[in-house]
């Protein structure tokens, strides 16, 4: 058992525990002589301060929590990595928690963090089931407790918390313009769950982009997934059976895209020829795919760093402005000219033009 306390160090160095503490925590009022003695003794004994005792008294834990909605989604693990690296560089530990897209688990984690008195929290907020914009009770208590909080990726309209989000409006406009230019008019959308603000934002931006490009908004071309692979697969089947036979599709995240592309491969759909595909999230697998998939990508490292910066600002008593990152569209060979007439076009007249 490592029972070495600061008193042991103080005794070994021949000073009081107060002096030892001052030396070890870098307090200026220490003489070079005692500094040397204490440091030598601490090293000699292999002293490791007890973080509990330290933060009980000082009310600082040098720890922040990061709550994401799915560790296994590469989007979030990239984000987690960026946040963790940046926090690490500032000497802050990161507690990573996983809500599993489930608000009960989110609350468990928040309760644990509140109890551990973390210095701050970065989270991808999850609305409550029916009422997507209402924060959970635990989140309200956490905010009420004065714990600095920053939202990243998603936001909750009713909650006054700085947020770092991504805007896909511009990228989707470009994407839809490109598709239109290639002759696509019936563009399907495989979206995410309504409780995620990201999903709503992408859906909204998709509709806006159609409109901006003079295309009809047709809700029957929208499939509601849940950001996980299984729903992408279901969306892929739904699209194959769709009476309107869309010629292009935009998918709202990478796991769903992987699920969908798997189904289309099995069904023998020629991606890029029969069906043009664009997906959110530029993960490596999209570049591995033959043909490579066009993507709308986010600057996740940037967002992670910005979140940490915003959080440290809040911790310092400031109120940072919300920050919005602009997503980026990259065209790849998964897009091609829409099949004109012929083939799959049965009984669906082109809408006046």
Partner DNA sequence: CGATTCCATGGAATCGATTACATAGTTTTC
Partner DNA sequence: GAAAACTATGTAATCGATTCCATGGAATCG
Strand-by-strand arrangement of the 294-297 sheet:
222-224, 187-191, 248-251, 276-280, 294-297, 328-330
* 71 binds its own copies, rule: CB under 8 A: yes
> Pick from 190, 151, 133, 130: which is nearest to 69 by CA?
151
Nearer to its own copies, 45 or 244 (CB): 45
Q: Which of 27, 72, 204, 344 binds its own copies (CB under 8 A)?
A: 72
Among positions 81, 242, 332, 339, the unique one binding its own copies when judged by CB under 8 A: 81
By a kind-dependent CB cut-off of 5 to 8 A, residue 157 interacts, out of DNA, its own copies, none, with: none
| 353 near its own copies, rule: CB under 8 A | no
- Shortest separation between residue 176's beta carbon and its own copies, angstroms: 25
- Rounded distance, CA 20 to CA 5, Å? 11
- What are φ and ψ of residue 320, in 5° steps? -65, 150
User: Binder to DNA among 11, 12, 25, 306 (CB under 7 A)?
Assistant: 25
* 19 contact, one of DNA, its own copies, none, CB 5-8 Å limit per kind: DNA
- Cβ of residue 96: shortest distance to DNA, in angstroms? 25
Q: Which of residues 151-210 bind its own copies (CB under 8 A)?
A: none
- Cα 330 to Cα 281: distance, rounded to the nearest angstrom: 11
Segment near DNA (CB under 7 A); pick from 18-26, 106-114, 231-239, 273-281: 18-26
Q: Is 229 in the site for its own copies (CB under 8 A)?
A: yes
**Torsion region of 347: left, alpha or beta (phi above 0 gives left; psi -120 to 50 gives alpha):** left
Instruction: Return d(Cα 238, Cα 113) in angstroms, integer.
Output: 41
Nearer to its own copies, 35 or 141 (CB): 141
Residues 178, 331: Cα–Cα separation, whole Å = 8
Q: Which of residues 306-335 bind DNA (CB under 7 A)?
A: none
CA distance 83 to 323: 16
Contact status: 46 vs its own copies (CB under 8 A) = yes
- Establish how many alpha carbons lie within 13 A of residue 1's alpha carbon, considering only the half-sphere containing its beta carbon: 2
Residues 248, 188: contact at Cβ < 8 Å?
yes
Residue 108 in the binding site for its own copies (CB under 8 A) = yes
Q: Is 336 in the site for DNA (CB under 7 A)?
A: no
Contact of 303 with 164, CB cutoff 8 Å: yes
Considering the rule CB under 8 A, would residue 302 count as an interface residue with its own copies? Answer: no
Q: Tell the smallest beta-carbon distance from residue 36 to DNA (Å).
A: 10
Closest contact distance (angstroms) between CB of 6 and DNA is: 3
Partner from its own copies, DNA, none binding residue 93, C-beta < 5-8 Å depending on class: its own copies
Q: Which residues, at least 6 apart from 125, have a Cβ–Cβ distance to it below 8 Å?
A: 135, 139, 151, 154, 155, 156, 159, 197
**Residue 88 is a binding residue for its own copies (CB under 8 A):** yes
* CA distance readout (Å), 27 to 30, 53, 123, 182: 7, 18, 34, 67
Nearer to DNA, 27 or 344 (CB): 27
Binding mask 52-81 for DNA (x = CB under 7 A): -xx-xxx-----------------------
Give the single-character DSSP code of 244. T
Residue 58 contact, options its own copies, DNA, none, Cβ 5-8 Å cut-off depending on partner type: DNA
Taking Cα atoms as reference points, which of 191, 148, 167, 153 lies closest to residue 279? Answer: 191
Which residues here bind DNA, judged by CB under 7 A? 3, 5-7, 14-19, 21-22, 24-25, 28-31, 33-34, 47, 49-50, 53-54, 56-58
């Amino acid at each position: 058992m490592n029972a070495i306390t600061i008193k042991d160090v103080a005794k070994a160095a021949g000073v009081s525990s107060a002096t030892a503490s001052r030396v070890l925590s870098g307090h200026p009022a220490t003489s070079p002589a005692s500094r040397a003695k204490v440091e030598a003794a601490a090293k000699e004994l292999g002293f490791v301060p007890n973080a509990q005792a330290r933060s009980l008294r000082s009310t600082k834990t040098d720890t922040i929590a990061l709550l994401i909605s799915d560790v296994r989604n590469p989007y979030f693990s990239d984000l987690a990595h960026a946040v963790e690296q940046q926090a690490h560089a500032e000497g802050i530990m990161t507690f990573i928690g996983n809500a599993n897209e489930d608000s009960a688990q989110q609350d468990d984690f928040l309760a644990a963090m509140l109890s551990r008195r973390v210095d701050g929290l970065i989270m991808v907020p999850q609305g409550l089931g029916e009422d997507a914009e209402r924060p959970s009770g635990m989140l309200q208590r956490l905010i009420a407790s004065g714990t600095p909080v920053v939202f990243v990726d998603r936001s909750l309209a009713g909650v006054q918390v700085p947020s770092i989000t991504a805007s896909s409006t511009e990228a989707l406009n470009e994407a839809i313009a490109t598709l239109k230019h290639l002759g696509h008019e019936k563009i399907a959308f495989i979206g995410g769950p309504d409780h995620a603000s990201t999903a709503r934002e992408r859906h909204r931006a998709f509709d806006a982009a159609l409109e901006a490009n003079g295309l009809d908004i047709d809700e029957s071309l929208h499939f509601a997934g849940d950001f996980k692979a299984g729903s992408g697969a279901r969306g892929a089947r739904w699209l194959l059976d769709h009476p309107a036979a869309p010629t292009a599709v935009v998918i709202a995240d990478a796991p769903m895209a992987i699920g969908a592309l798997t189904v289309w491969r099995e069904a023998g759909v020629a991606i890029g020829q029969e069906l043009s595909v664009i997906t959110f999230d530029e993960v490596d697998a999209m570049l591995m795919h033959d043909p490579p998939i066009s993507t709308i990508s986010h600057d996740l490292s940037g967002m992670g760093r910005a979140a940490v910066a915003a959080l440290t600002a809040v911790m310092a008593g400031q109120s940072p402005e919300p920050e919005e990152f602009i997503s980026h569209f990259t065209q790849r060979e998964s897009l091609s000219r829409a099949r004109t007439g012929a083939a799959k076009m049965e009984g669906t007249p082109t809408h006046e033009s």
